[in-house]
Amino acid sequence: MITATSETTENINDIYLNREQAMKLLGISRTTLATIVRRYKIEKCTLTRRPLYRKADLVNLIEQHMSTSKTTKAAS
């Protein structure tokens, strides 16, 4: 995990994940990560040869796609 700051308190906007870390966070394969990055236009840093993804962007994506299942029992 790469951080843009060396402070002890981590700001989620300052945390960048490599491809493997992003895949682990989302629980997906490399192909699915590439599809999601393309479909949802997730920005990536290409300062190095390997792309880095902002953790906040990935967490926001998860939160946007959370669904609440409201199951109610039918009264008999």
Residue 15 lies in a domain: yes
Residue 74 lies in a domain: no
State the residue range of the domain holding 11.
2-64
Residue 57 lies in a domain: yes
Residue 65 has a pLDDT of 87
Residue 42 lies in a domain: yes
Residue 5 has a pLDDT of 46
Strands of the sheet with 44-45, listed across from one edge? 2-3, 15-17, 52-54, 44-45
Residue 37 has a pLDDT of 95
Residue 24 lies in a domain: yes
Nearest to 23 by CA among 11, 12, 35: 35
pLDDT by position in tens, the chain (length 76): 655 544 445 677 789 999 999 999 999 999 999 999 999 999 999 888 899 999 999 999 999 988 766 655 655 5
Number of domains into which the chain is organized: 1
Residue 59 lies in a domain: yes
